[in-house]
Amino acid sequence: MTADRKRFVISVIVIIAGFLFLGFLAIMPEKRDEPELLIISTIAPERTPLPPLPDVMSQDWGGPDETPEPTLAPTSPPEPRSYNGIQESDVIIGELTHYDVCIACCGKVNGVTASGLVIRNGETPEIPVASCNWLPFGTIVKIDGVTHIVADRGGKEMDRIGRIDVFVPEGHQAALTLGRKRGAEITVVRLPE
């Protein structure tokens, strides 16, 4: 305990002791010639009794069969968002290729995507990255059942709806081995707001 705190506690104790002492003096009868009058208690005014409480334990509050199920007000599902004529939940059959961070695939090696996300060979991103020019950044797509985020752009070829490129962290040889796939199923899961 600090010195200031000790002084404060002692001050509070002294003040309380003073009040108690003064209170004691106030109730002590003074020596007078008058007869002493000591009030022992006061009689409380007569109160009206409160009504008895209802016996809630014996009341029938309904069993599980009698309780109605809560219902939600009918609501219409939200309208799917759209972008350039493409709506959420649209399925597009397209062409899939693969790329890595290298001069041959990207023309640079710093790994900074067009959206600003940094990707690197040998490091798997939290969510796989896709590249296309026909969907906005942040769009979530499923490509052949695997979830990806659109976070990069490509050359003019990537302008065509259904043309998509997927980042492969395993490197250039893996991208070449996976190659080009026609007939890839691209599902637009969610468009950004």
Q: For every residue of 34-98, which 3-state class applies, written as one string?
A: CCCCCCCCCCCCCCCCCCCCCCCCCCCCCCCCCCCCCCCCCCCCCCCCEECCEECCCEEEEEEEE
How is residue 168 annotated by DSSP? -
Of 76, 102, 96, 78, nearest in space to 169 by CA: 102
pLDDT at 39: 46
Q: What is the chain's mean pLDDT, rounded? A: 81
The residue ranking higher by pLDDT, 62 or 193, is 193
Residue predicted with more confidence, 25 or 178: 178
Decide: 175 and 131 in contact? Cβ < 8 Å: no
Query: For residue 26, is pLDDT > 80?
Result: no
- Please report where in the chains the tokens 């109605």 appear, as a residue: 68
Tracing tokens 């900074």 back to the chain, one arrives at: 112
Domains of the chain: 87-190 (2.40.40.10)
For the stretch 74-131, pLDDT in tens is: 777 778 888 889 999 999 999 999 999 999 888 888 989 999 999 999 999 999 999 9
Please report which confidence band the pLDDT of residue 36 belongs to, taking 50, 70 and 90 as the band edges: low
Rg (Cα) of the chain, in Å, rounded? Answer: 41
pTM of the model as a whole: 0.59
* pLDDT for the residue numbered 178: 94
pLDDT reported for residue 33: 55
pLDDT of residue 69: 67
How much is the pLDDT for 28? 56
